Amino acid sequence: MAKSCAEQAIVLIAPGEQSLSWRRCGTIWSMRKGIGVSPGVAVGKAYCIQQIFVNPETRTLELGEVLGELSRYDQAREQTAADLHALYQKVRKQVGEQDAAIFQTHEQILRDPAFTAKIRNWIVDEHMSAAMALDRLLREYTEFFSHTEDEYLRERLADVRDVVIRLSGHLSEMLEPEGGMPRGDLILIADELLPSQVVTLGDRTVSGIVTQAGSGTSHAAILARSRGIPAVSGLRGVLRHVKNGDTVVVDGREGLVVVNPDPEQLSAYLKLQREFFDLKDALAENRDQPAVSADGQEVQLLANINSVADARAATAMGAVGVGLFRTEYLFLTHPDVPDEEEQLAAYREIIAESPNRQVTIRTLDLGGDKTIPYLGHAREANPFLGWRSIRLSFEHPEFFMKQIRAILRAAAKTNSEKSRVRMMFPMITTLEELRKVHTMVKRAKEQLTAEGKPYGNVQIGLMLEVPAAAVSIDQMLNLVHFVSIGSNDLVQYLMAADRDNPKVSHLCQPLSPPVLRVLLSVIEACNFARKPVTLCGEMAGAPRAIVLLFGMGLRSFSMSPAFIPIIKDLTSHLTVRRAERVLRKALSLKTTAQIQDFMAKQIAEIAPNLKMLDTA
């Protein structure tokens, strides 16, 4: 039987190939191969974000529009200045004068005559929109700073970028709703998506996401999976080959992106897209069914969330609770510094909207690629191995204490047989850090007691993502009530490979032999000590990984809400005996590729209906 054009297209590009392929079914067209990071097929119109920090219109202004654009820029500039002044005052009060000084620097940049003159001259002389001029300015600064060896000057680029982001935000608020955006379903094309940009998607109909940078555990990938959006990352140069309004196909399972397909191919992919939607709809019907294996083993399926909207999605998808609430998104998307009362209100709302009011709240996991200016953003050679997460929180004890207090207070009157709030600390590396955490929680309780403010009896947990903690897990279990395995970071630290770097992201494979052996040792240690253990990395939403983790004895998984129906269906086909047999075979294989191929065949046998949603 002849293969469809879509199937023929898939086999034309070897795994890992990223160059353009020009022939399909005897026709010339454009296809690129990247990393499939969120399964499914989407067809829509391209919406290109040429510069990650601003979203400029490319249309040249008419002469009669220039004065209005100057006024719009001046208004955005004054609003930005007011933001920075208010932020300086608030950070100075909550964090300290030294940390607040960054916003005085930002205001000086904003009011720099040369900065403003460039923007105004480009609007007047070249009829650029203000957003377009900002984009050009940032590219000029980036080019200039990239050629200097002066460390101080290179760090100033981050300050310029922050100012441009704030200006662009105010300009975007003034745009007409359409804003030059193509109508209908959008395929978002960008260099990358940062955590602070997640909120900017709002309620827009984004059908697919394509990024030049990133990997299966990048923030763009996590965002896409949380919303059930097909996505491809690591597709370098795509912005040079795609323009706004192009018809684009995103095949998140195979990692393929097709630009302006011919009618025959478009028809084939539209059929695959309908099948993808039909499968998701069918799986969603299991929402109210318990997660139980074929031989009666109960499985706990939890959700990873960033917001109240995600908490509601978790309930809609049938999660029994929230296994990971990432609190840093509250800080990244807040216009200034959320104080204790604002945090308290946010956490209470999350608890109220979460399935069964069961929530594990992770304290701030900032640093690396997630920064907020008021906690510093000094340039580091290896930011993921540097001043981040719990290390940064310890450096700002009073700021950190406000979050601990807010979480404790939010848990008041919520803990019951069904309702439960837990607090988890990220990137714990040593026993000393755990002891310090306990000391701070104890101090927070003493403060609240003295102030007459009620608080809940919150369990303390460790997020295991550093190999050192995995090696010494036996010693740490006595100091925690539960363990959550953060497989995203654990894999990249174990393999010494930045998961967002396309040149080495191929090393960040969860199904690699060393990763599986470390996970097995941690899960066995937790089960032996009778300490609850959950895996809350992106592995938890991967069918191939679930079979192996189930065979290791893991029964609690926390994932993007969109994956809960898929994993619930998969577990209903599993038995302990088969999963253990599959695990033994996988552990005997020598390479990642062998394990991936073996597990793909196992998924096809165990749950053939999930083949379209299975990714490596």
Which residues are the active-site residues? Answer: 219, 536
By the 8 A CB rule, do 364 and 389 touch? Answer: yes
Q: 131 and 57 in contact (C-beta within 8 Å)?
A: yes
Structure tokens at 586: 């996988």
Tokens of 152: 């101080």
Strand partners, 264: none
Query: Which residues in 320-355 are b (16+ Cβ under 10 Å) and which e?
Result: bbbbbbbbbbbbbbeebbbeeeebbebbbebbebbb
DSSP string, 405-445: HHHHHHTTTT-SSS-EEEEEETT--SHHHHHHHHHHHHHHH
Instruction: Give the angle subtended at the CA of 552 by the CAs of 549 and 555, to the nearest 5°.
Output: 65
Gap between the Cα atoms of 562 and 73, Å rounded: 40
DSSP letter string, 222-241: HHHHHTT--EEE--TTHHHH
Name the residue type at position 499. Answer: R
**Chain centroid, CA 364 distance in Å:** 14
The 10 Å Cβ neighbour count of residue 44 is: 21
Give 300's DSSP letter.
E
- Taking the C-alpha atoms of residue 248 and residue 29, their distance in angstroms, rounded to an integer, is 12
Which residue intervals of 111-209 are DSSP H helices? 113-125, 130-146, 151-174
CA distance 434 to 441: 11
Element (H, E) at 567: helix 564-571
Question: Which of 582, 479, 590, 271 is closest to 261 using CA atoms?
Answer: 271
Q: Quick one: which of 442, 362, 429, 350 has its CA closest to 391? A: 429
Please compute, for residue 166, the number of CA atoms within 13 A of its CA located in the half-sphere on the CB side. 26
Which residues have C-beta within 8 Å of that of residue 524, sequence separation ≥ 6?
552, 553
Number of H helices, E strands in the chain: 23, 17
CB atoms within 10 A of CB 159: 18
Check residue 22 and give left, alpha or beta (phi > 0: left; psi -120 to 50: alpha): alpha
* CA pair distance 395, 288, nearest whole angstrom: 45
| Cα distances (Å, whole numbers) of residue 142 to 145, 150, 156, 164, 337 | 5, 14, 10, 12, 28
